Amino acid sequence: MDVNLEPDFLRVTEKAAIAAARTMGYGDRKYSDQIAVEAMRKEMDSLAINGTVVIGEGERDKAPMLYVGEKVGADKDGRLGYPEIDIAVDPLEGTNLCATGSNNAIAVLAAAISAAHRDVVHQNAPMDFGDHGGIFRTGCIKMPFVELNHAQCKTYLVGSETGRKAVLIDPLKERIDRYLAVLAYHGYRLEKIIDTHTHADHRSGAAELSDLTEAPVVMHRRGAGPAAPASPGPRS
């Protein structure tokens, strides 16, 4: 990327977080989410980019803003020649936390040069479980990235086709059988289970999955809970 957009994207998440913070304790998680989405969308449209939401609030008919496929930025039609960027967003992860006045809700954004302008091809993943996602191919490396549930709380699988390894991000306790079925179907060995933060809006399945698969659970040291390093040693 010829320009450094990191400060701009940081400002986008800050705007969403500050807007959502003003709704803390209102007891209305949908309202908190709506305010965060609107703030993120407004700030994103000020950026010098031709952006496309590739992971967002849902499909177009279910999400009024930041839906999958939505164009964002100041150059939506590409006439200005601004960088084409693929964007993944979750304007307010932890809507119940915010609504109840609790800590640790976060605004999330990830961005990369559009797949059309890098050596990566996005194809539909052969997932027979009604999942969003794809297989990203870079040279001989194949990396499946799949959304495993479409509820407010998202769970993601990121894997390696060549090494047959995978990590699960924010698994739900009630969907453990589903995750194990996906792993078995594709022949992946679960290497790590990642909780991005301490959850208050669902029951984490991390501990139970760890017992079943012997995969370690990791969480950032700033997470409000038992911290684990990102690269822990072997299980004892």
Distance in angstroms (rounded) separating the CA atoms of residues 140 and 39 = 40
Tokens (6 digits) for 149: 């549930």
pLDDT at 85 over 50: yes
- C-beta atoms surrounding 140 within 10 Å: 7
Alpha helical stretches, state H, 5-161:
6-21, 29-44, 95-99
Structural domain containing residue 181: 119-236
| Contact between residue 136 and residue 161 where contact means Cβ atoms under 8 Å apart | no
Domain boundary among the residues 83, 118, 153 is at: 118
**Mean of pLDDT values over 15-30:** 94
CB-CB contact of 206 with 228 (8 Å): no
The pLDDT assigned to 234 comes to 44
Q: Please tell me what DSSP assigns to residue 27.
A: S
pLDDT digits (tens, 9 = 90+) for 179-189: 888 888 778 89
Whole-number pLDDT of residue 1:
45
Q: What is the model's pLDDT at position 161?
A: 72
CA distances from 47 to 74, 87, 115, 221 (A): 6, 13, 19, 32
pLDDT for residue 147? 65
CATH value at residue 58 = 3.30.540.10
Measured CA to CA, the distance from residue 8 to residue 6 in angstroms comes to 5
Note the pLDDT of residue 138. Answer: 37
Choose between 196 and 212: higher pLDDT: 212
21 and 131 in a single domain? The answer is no
Picking from 74, 103, 118, the residue at the C-terminal end of a domain is 118
